Amino acid sequence: MSIQAQDYLDSLYSKEQRKEEKELEINNQNLEGPLNLKDFESLESLDCSYNRLTSIAFLSSLPFPEKLTYLNIANNNFAKEELSLLNKFVKLEELRLGTFDGNRIKQGIYNRFHGSLKPLRNMNKLETLEISNTDINSGYEYLPLSIRTIISSYQMRPEAEVEKIEDALSPYRTDGHEVDIGSARINFWETSGLEKVDELERLINDSSSENVNLKSENAKLISEIAVLKSEIANLSSKNDNLNSRIDKLTTIGSDLLDNWNQLHNDKKQLVGVVDVLKKELELKDEELKRAKEANEETKIKELMEEIEKLKENLDDKNKEIIKLEENEKIITELIGLKDELNKLKVGFLNKVVKMKRFSDQIKVVRNQVDKFLELTASIEVSFKKSEKHTEEVKTKKAEADELRKYLIKYGLPKELNDLAVKQREVTKKEMELQEIKEIKENY
């Protein structure tokens, strides 16, 4: 049973929710009817595939189409329509327009897009394009160089006009649906006729623009490498300093451990002495008690002096024990600090290793960018050479046509000979023009 698209959307999102929503997935819900997306101000991803929508007019209701990076409207029932409405979605990275559900196609439910891909020419971030079983039949030569994957199957609709695009791109398939769009575009403009010279110029400009962008990215990579080298040097210096300090602390820690053991033994001895003093004090207290009962004044005086000395000695020993315990605590903390420093060293070394690995990865990327810059520079030269040769061929052919008309009118042998010379010149220039095909092998 079909569901009205707008009713379904209203049941899911309040007006306030729509303003913050970045992803909208309403696929496979059997939706039909109109749809209004005017409140989705932050939308970056839209998937409404596998429904029964018949018009893409709802896309024009998006307030900020330039924010969208993913659009999937595949497997619907859109009426016959060209792609001009999509020209504002300039930041798309993935676009799916076709129908690849055999059961739907048998029921006559499929997307009927037709015409040219030219409206997608400004989607300079587009990497994946799916147009299976549609009647889109031209315009691949306008696709941006960012394209990596084009899915243009027509097996489920043998009459689908997308077959023309699939056949044209077939020689430039690299792996499955992946395609070398740069070579395909170049070949098209080489073979499509002299009236396309202006498009060759546009291709040169595209290549130059991408070259500038790559140079900018390359400069950023060089800057990042320099920063990383500086950070690695600083980290290495800090690591050496840390190693030196840890070595010193290791020696100190060993001494501290010996001291701790000595303190521990001293403490045990002191505790024993304190116990002996306490017992002596108890005995003297009892002896003093008996002397008081016997009223022996001389002995009382002697015992009180002895008891006072025992108490002082006992206090001194207790103070020594407290001091030993404090030292013991400090040494224990220092030993713990040494262990923490060792852990810090391990983490520090791991960070240095990761930084070096990242630096190596950036170097690899930079080398790839340098190679691509060299390639685009050679392509630009070849394009300019192609444009020059095309103009010469055009001029020679025009001269040959004039001579042919002249011969038809007068039938003069000398002009016939001149015509043969001109035709040979044209053939030579056409052969020179074929050199451009080398671009396809290098691009």
Rounded average pLDDT over 404-429:
52
More confident residue, 69 or 262: 69
pTM of the model as a whole: 0.48
Per-residue pLDDT band for 132 (boundaries 50, 70, 90) equals very high
Q: Half-sphere exposure of 100 toward its Cβ, with a 13 Å CA cutoff?
A: 14
How many Cβ atoms are within 10 Å of 150's Cβ, its own excluded?
A: 22
Burial (0-12, 13-18, 19+ Cβ within 10 Å), 314: middle
pLDDT of the residue at 195? 43
Q: What is the pLDDT of residues 287-325, one digit of tens each?
A: 777 777 777 777 777 777 777 777 777 777 677 777 767
Q: What is the pLDDT of residues 357-373, one digit of tens each?
A: 666 666 665 665 566 55
State the Cα–Cα distance between residues 163 and 10, nearest whole angstrom. 40
More confident residue, 220 or 188: 188
Write down the residue that tokens 């960012």 correspond to: 146
Burial (0-12, 13-18, 19+ Cβ within 10 Å), 214: middle
State the Cα–Cα distance between residues 321 and 182, nearest whole angstrom. 86
Short-list 198, 189, 169, CA closest to 181: 169
Interaxial angle between packed helices 197-294 and 297-410, expressed in degrees from 0 to 180 and rounded to the nearest 10? 180
Angle at 121 between CA 119 and CA 123, to 5 degrees: 105
Q: What percent of the chain has pLDDT over 90?
A: 38
Burial (0-12, 13-18, 19+ Cβ within 10 Å), 79: exposed
The domains found in the chain, sorted by start residue, are 3-179 (3.80.10.10), 212-442 (1.10.287)
Beta carbons of 255 and 338 less than 8 angstroms apart: no
State the Cα–Cα distance between residues 99 and 113, nearest whole angstrom. 10
Q: What is the pLDDT of residues 345-355, one digit of tens each?
A: 666 666 656 66
Q: What is the pLDDT of residues 259-276, one digit of tens each?
A: 667 766 776 776 777 677
Q: Is the pLDDT of residue 65 over 90?
A: yes
State the Cα–Cα distance between residues 135 and 162, nearest whole angstrom. 5
Q: What percent of the chain has pLDDT over 70?
A: 55
pLDDT of the residue at 148? 93
Average pLDDT of the chain?
Answer: 76
Q: What is the pLDDT of residues 1-47, one digit of tens each?
A: 789 999 999 999 998 999 999 999 999 999 999 999 999 999 999 99
Beta-strand pair 135-138/173-175: unpaired
Short-list 136, 158, 140, CA closest to 149: 140
Q: Is the pLDDT of residue 395 over 80?
A: no
Q: What is the pLDDT of residues 410-422, one digit of tens each?
A: 444 454 455 555 5
